[in-house]
Amino acid sequence: MNIEILDLGLIDYERAWKLQDEYAAEIAKGERPPTLLLLEHPHVYTFGRKGNASNLLWNEIQLKEKNISTYWVDRGGDVTYHGPGQLVGYPLIPLGRLNQDNRLPEADYVGYIRKLEEMLIGLLMNYGIASGQRPGKTGVWIQADVHSRCIHCKPENKQKHAKIAAIGVKVDVNGVTRHGFALNVDPDMDYWDGIIPCGLTEPVVSLADLLEPAPSMQDVKQDIKAAFCTIFEKTL
């Protein structure tokens, strides 16, 4: 089945959240094909279902000074940051009907997350960046030997694993996915100082930290489109 891919540019978080609801309802009714939304957000911190308010480090005055919005949302995971220079993808994909307990089989839900990770890992490999998964954690990570190449990172962090892409999803009652992935292309990394990302102490990096020059946002979008369709069109 073909996937519709929409580039929404820079869009307010709440507006994009509502669009997901609208489009997912249409997909469930068979009125819209599976859809991937690609976009960037203005500065925002979002907390998932496992969110812990203590992982927000900046106070209300600092948030206002930096023009950061905050939202508690219905995806998995804890707190993360979105902002200009970060490519966000919201796949709206029908994974199948729920069982009698209104749940997807565990393999379907976890398998979907693993596919998102594998797509991003393949994309990064095309840029010459070796990355991978970590047991018990979602997202895409680079090892210390790759992190040591970081141009702007703190010396004490270069010997640690670092996250380059985050994943947090929801599957609604109709089996349609919401939310998705966020790949750090060239965002202002100072905004990560305001949170403990996903409640974890490992550092966060971007493509621009590891590549000189970094690929443009437009180039990354084109590469994501191809990688996403390769992974998902054959399974729908």
* CA distance linking residue 162 with residue 141, whole number of Å: 6
- 64 close to 43: Cβ distance less than 8 angstroms: no
Side-chain-side CA neighbours of 83 within 13 Å: the count stands at 19
Pairing state between β 132-134 and 137-142: antiparallel
Spot the catalytic one: 150, 153, 198, 229: 198
Q: Which of 38, 140, 16 is nearest to 89 (CA)?
A: 38
Residue 131 near residue 120, CB atoms below 8 Å: yes
The total of other beta-carbon atoms located within 10 Å of residue 68's CB is 19
Asked about 198 being catalytic, the answer comes back as yes
Q: Give the separation between CA 125 and CA 118, rounded to whole angstroms.
A: 10
- Which residues are catalytic, by number? 198
